[in-house]
Amino acid sequence: MAFYETQLRAALRLFLLSTFLALSGCASLSATDQQNVAGKTYVITGASSGFGRGVALRLAGMKANVVLAARRTAVLNEVASQAQVAGGTALVVTTDVSKPEDVSRLADAAVQRFGRIDVWINNAAVGAIGAFDTIPVEDHARVVDVNLKGVIYGSHAALRQFRKQGAGVLINIGSVESEVPLAYHASYSATKAAVLSLGRGLNEELRLAGLRGPIEVATVMPWATDTPFFEHAANYTGRTAREPAMDGPQKVVEYIVYTSLHPSEEVPTGWKARAAIWSHHLAPDLTEHVSANISHTSQMEHAPPVQPPTTGSLYQPMQGGTGVDGGVRARMEREDAERKKAESGQ
């Protein structure tokens, strides 16, 4: 009996250790990684704020060439100046990723200026938060135009160039929602699932063509992260946008840069994203119910009801929200303190 107990304990320890190892892991860049970035050319869509801006500046600090694409030209020019000061070389190409002609012009401009494209990062996206049938149908269509069609246009331009060069890394920014759909984000989650599916299909095509290895497609899947995304999202909840247990943006920036040097097909950014994806593989319905319940409490009950309906930056870029950090965690703390105070009748 004692023998079996010892075996059982050892098995349990092994299980816990392997679970810990599977969920942990980070993306730290070695000195060699940093040298390998120097002189490489990166195209980054959505480079005016959030992850895109953070990645552009991080890469510039390692002396990369960064081609900055988004709609806000003045903000991109500011990012370009910072990138130059940090040691990189920057090119600004005003781009609306929902327009195939803009994306094709972006690829041409990058090749004309730097001769090649080593890494293409499809990062630009928009969100629409609210009950599915409360959000106007044209807003759902626009989410698809930017988040899915934009990624298809970018992937097409990048892979054509990579085939000419014989090498390249395509990074598409998905989300933990690529695997775990979230209530009140239905069409956004659907586009992110499609982005993951696109990457999986492209890698198979590359394998069949004997090009897998020199050319790789990676989908980076961040957990909810504090960027201007929530300020930019269309919002029909009547409440301020929020997410529980947010990560800070710099962690995701490091994952994206690391992936450009060590690409793999699916890259959850940290233990929360890994745990959610793992849990969804084991128990999909339960994971979706729990995620939806958390989203409902956080978004529909705890957020203050002060927000008029907005299309955010879906159709036109917004002036606000130009940083890497979105200030959402600080706002949520203030809102929670106010709510608790009101509940306790003080």
Whether 4 sits among the annotated catalytic residues: the reply is no
Name which of 51 and 114 has its Cβ closer to ligand NAP.
51
Name which of 211 and 247 has its Cβ closer to ligand NAP.
247
Q: Among 44, 52, 83, 182, which residue sits at the site for ligand NAP (rule: CB under 6 A)? A: 52
- Scanning 26-34, 64-72, 206-214, 289-297 for contacts with ligand NAP by CB under 6 A, the matching segment is 64-72
- Scanning 28-36, 71-79, 83-91, 107-115 for contacts with ligand NAP by CB under 6 A, the matching segment is 71-79
- Scanning 153-161, 280-288, 296-304, 313-321 for contacts with ligand NAP by CB under 6 A, the matching segment is 313-321
Footprint of ligand NAP on 196-225 (CB under 6 A): 222, 224-225
Name which of 181 and 211 has its Cβ closer to ligand NAP.
181
Residues 6+ apart with CB under 8 A from 247: 222, 223, 224, 225, 226, 269, 270, 272
Nearest to 169 by CA among 147, 150, 154, 184: 154
Is residue 71 at the binding interface for ligand NAP, with CB under 6 A as the rule?
Answer: yes
Q: What is the DSSP letter of 87?
A: T
Q: Are 297 and 243 in contact (CB under 8 A)?
A: no
Nearest to 331 by CA among 254, 251, 239, 253: 239
Name which of 181 and 317 has its Cβ closer to ligand NAP.
317
* Catalytic residue, candidates 42, 184, 188, 236: 188
Give the containing element (helix H, strand E) for 42.
Answer: strand 41-45
Give the shortest CB-150-to-ligand NAP separation in angstroms. 6
By rule CB under 6 A, what string of x and - marks binding of each residue 75-104 to ligand NAP? Answer: x-------------------xxxx------
Q: Give me the numbers of helices (H) and strands (E) for the chain, helices first please.
A: 13, 9
Nearest to 66 by CA among 248, 53, 292: 53
Q: How many residues does the chain have?
A: 346
Name which of 225 and 311 has its Cβ closer to ligand NAP.
225
Is residue 229 at the binding interface for ligand NAP, with CB under 6 A as the rule?
Answer: yes
CB neighbour burial string for 116-148, b if at least 16 within 10 angstroms, e if fewer: ebbbbbbbbbbbbbbeeeebeeebbebbbbbbb
Is residue 232 at the binding interface for ligand NAP, with CB under 6 A as the rule?
Answer: yes
Footprint of ligand NAP on 121-180 (CB under 6 A): 123-126, 146, 173, 175
Is residue 273 at the binding interface for ligand NAP, with CB under 6 A as the rule?
Answer: no
- Scanning 17-25, 43-51, 158-166, 298-306 for contacts with ligand NAP by CB under 6 A, the matching segment is 43-51
Amino acid in position 54:
G
Is residue 190 at the binding interface for ligand NAP, with CB under 6 A as the rule?
Answer: no
Name which of 40 and 53 has its Cβ closer to ligand NAP.
53
Nearest to 48 by CA among 116, 97, 107, 9: 97
Name which of 168 and 268 has its Cβ closer to ligand NAP.
268
Nearest to 309 by CA among 167, 87, 130: 130
Q: Are 105 and 95 in contact (CB under 8 A)?
A: yes
Pairwise CA distance, residues 57 & 134, whole Å = 38
Residues binding ligand NAP (CB under 6 A): 45-46, 48-52, 70-72, 75, 95-98, 123-126, 146, 173, 175, 222, 224-225, 227-229, 232, 313, 317, 321
Q: Which residues are catalytic?
A: 188
